[in-house]
Structure formats: C-alpha cells, structure tokens
Copies of this chain bind each other. A is one copy, B any other.
Amino acid sequence: MEEYVKILRKNGIKVTPQRLEILRFLDTHHTHPTADDIYNELKKKNPALSKTTVYNTIQSLKEHGLLISLAFSAHESRFDSVINNHHHLLCSECGNVIDIDIECPFTKRKAMGGHRIDEVHGYFRGVCKDCLGGK
C-alpha cells in the first residue's frame, strides 16, 4: 500500500485522490508553497480540482499535525509538511523561504511563564546567501 495512504489511514482521514496528491506534493516539495501554488501545480494533472478542496485538505492535515502553516505576511499563508523543528528565513530580495536549522532552546519547551506552549515558530527576515553573493 502506498505510503501516503498509510499516513492518512493512521490519522483517521478518509483517503481520496485529492488528499493523496496534496499530501504527496507537500512531502516531495519543501518549497513552502502557498495554497495557490499547490492548487496551480496539481490542477495540471487534475483540471477539475477545486481550490476549496485544497483549503479543506490543508485544514484537515493541519488539524492532524501533518503540516504547519507559516504566517510571514498578512496576505498569504505558506505551508510545510515537515514536523521536525526548524526555523525559517524570508529573503527580502528573492522572496523565497529558506529553512534554518539551528539548535533553538525553546522548541521542546511545553510551558513558559505559566503559559502552555503548543507550537514554536522562529521567523527571520533578511537576505539569503544566494542573494548576498550575487551582489
């Protein structure tokens, strides 16, 4: 049985072709795509795909902890299927989001100052190595 079918079953998510394709895309493209990126890419193979389905599936995967959403800007969300903790850099030159693997002392904390901590997101803004080098 395909790997992604197992993942969905294990999480009690009904298996559909749309969900499999979205999960596969997120798992094989760690480019931090927007919902629109996912929609446009998968529409090539399945022209009947609805944007609502993309949003519904993202919501479902998020609720089961299979993806996280990155909220760098106020007018679009980006998504990442990875669950291992890493931080993100938004390059102000090229607009790409780059993974930053650092040892953050807070990612494993479950409480802080009396508050319960469920998620830790580290966002950096700056200029990525490639854009710096090109100057």
Contact = CB atoms under 8 A, between A and B. Distances in A.
Interface in A63-77: 69, 71-77
A89 interface: yes
A118 interface: yes
Given A74-B69, A77-B74, A105-B105, A118 B114 contact: no
**Chain A: interface secondary structure?**
strand
B119 A121 contact: no
A112 B116 CA distance: 29
Interface string A103-135: 011100000111111111111111111001000
Interface of A: 69, 71-77, 89, 91-92, 98, 100-102, 104-106, 112-129, 132
